[in-house]
Structure 1
Amino acid sequence: MKGPLTLLLLTISNLFMTFAWYGHLQFKKLAWFSKLGIVGVVLVSWGLAFFEYVFQVPANRLGYEGNGGPFSLFELKVIQEVITLTVFTLCAVFVFKTDKLGWNHVAGFALLVAAVYVIFRKW
């Protein structure tokens, strides 16, 4: 149960991270947001990033094998990277609608899957 919960918490964390890091580039379309200066934008992003940590820290603590979870540090990191790129891609294509998914993105994701295989393989 710790494994799936870790994945869920990391996914939620990455949703907040994506909006904190890249959402402000799209939020400028909102009237109230477009009037904010850089300091205001940074503060809004920090507010979103707070919730990223609210989910990521428990996910890592729960998932880490040193705390009784199923994942090593390397495994947690590669899982987090794959989730980050998956969430970002879905947001960019379907929420922000700024990019189209190309063959090079698919090829890159295939390489990430290969990275997951190599990291999780017990040699």
Structure 2
Amino acid sequence: YTIGRTIGVDRWRWSRAPRVVSMRAWAKRRLARSTAAVVFTARFIPFARIAVNLTAGAERLPAPRYLGLCALAACAWAVYQSFIGAAIARLLPAYPVAAVLISIAIALLVGWALDAVLTRRFAPGTR
């Protein structure tokens, strides 16, 4: 987040690679619409977290709100990974891909729910 905010996202050659540019474009569009869903989802997808953090900083998302969501997402990730290790792995020992897909789906649902609550709570005209 800080690197994206202070330095930007196009400074390094690797950050201009098509795949990275594509991830950043996705993150920018999604961050504008549903910050919590993006933060929670990115926590569960390798490399997406980097793109989201850099993009959030470069797009100047308010740090307190963004970092608060990151802290909640990190806690959710840790709890969920513990749950996956104890429960899902026991149910699906031969299907690690299914466990990852379930993880992503739950992250999306939690993010969307949190966005709905935050949008209602902080919408103009509400207190």
Superposition TM-score, scaled by structure 2 size: 0.34
Superposition TM-score, scaled by structure 1 size: 0.35
